[in-house]
Structure formats: C-alpha cells, structure tokens
Amino acid sequence: MIRIIGLDYGSKTVGVAVSDPLGITAQGVEIVRRKSENKLRRTLARIDELIEQYQVDRIVLGFPKHLNNDIGDRAVKSLEFKEMLEKRTGLDVVMWDERLTTVEANRTLIEAQVRRDNRKLYVDKIAAVFILQGYLDYLSIHKPE
C-alpha cells in the first residue's frame, strides 16, 4: 500500500490532498498559505510535516499547462517547486496535468451552493483533490505489471 499526497501549487497557496491507504480516493487536507510567492521555507516545512503525518511515499504536483499544451510561467514555477520538493523530501514527484482543475473545483463549490466569498477558502484544496484523484484513477487503469 502506498500513500500519495497531491499538491495544487499556486502563487500564494498550496492546496493539499492525500490518498486513502488503498490509493483509491483523494481527500482534501488543507491549504498552506504564504504572504508572498517566494517565501517557501514554511510552506515546504508544512508539506514535510504532512508527508510524515500521513506516511506518504509519493508526491503528485499539479502541472498547469496552457490549453494548447505550452508551458508558461506558472508551469516553470511548478517545475522549480518540484525540484525543491525532491531535494527536501527525497520522494518522487510526479507532474500531473491540472488543466481545468480549478474550473472544476469552482463548479463543484457552486453546485454545493458555497457562497462566492467563501469559495476562495476552499478552491485550492478541492483542486488538489481533483489532481490527486485524476492520478489515482490513472493508476487504477494502468496498474504496473
């Protein structure tokens, strides 16, 4: 059994989700917030704590490509964050296409009738759930031999 953590890396937040011990479902855990984009020390320390708490074996990081598959500034920053995570944790970091996950997360919150003011409080965590769930669904179909 492996435990996987999913991360939605944003300019001032990181949405966090974790898989159940069987690797079937993703649950939202929290949103790690920081004051500015480049202040990552506390963010990385909190992710370390969550990795230890949930006994995580692998990290899935949202990869925000453009719809035309180009890699923009946010994607470059995500790749830099991937390197930081790998160095700090020693774990494999899988980049997972996150196009439209924030749109999906917002739609889910709207359908759940969450007020617009409150959506900001949850959207990154829900996006992390979608990222991780997409990866878990992929693994269930493409089981390694």
26 with 132: CB under 8 angstroms?
A: yes
**CB of 27 within 8 A of CB of 80?**
no
Band of residue 144 on the pLDDT scale cut at 50, 70, 90? low
For residue 112, the model assigns a pLDDT of 81
pTM of the predicted structure, to 2 decimals: 0.88
Q: For residues 18 and 27, is the Cβ–Cβ distance under 8 A?
A: yes
Domain with 8 in it: 4-141
Nearest to 124 by CA among 39, 48, 30, 38: 30
Q: How many domains does the chain have?
A: 1
Residue 58 is part of a domain; what is its CATH number? 3.30.420.140
pLDDT in tens, 41-76: 999 999 999 999 999 999 999 998 877 777 888 889
User: Virtual CA dihedral for 70, 76, 81, 85, nearest 10 degrees?
Assistant: 60
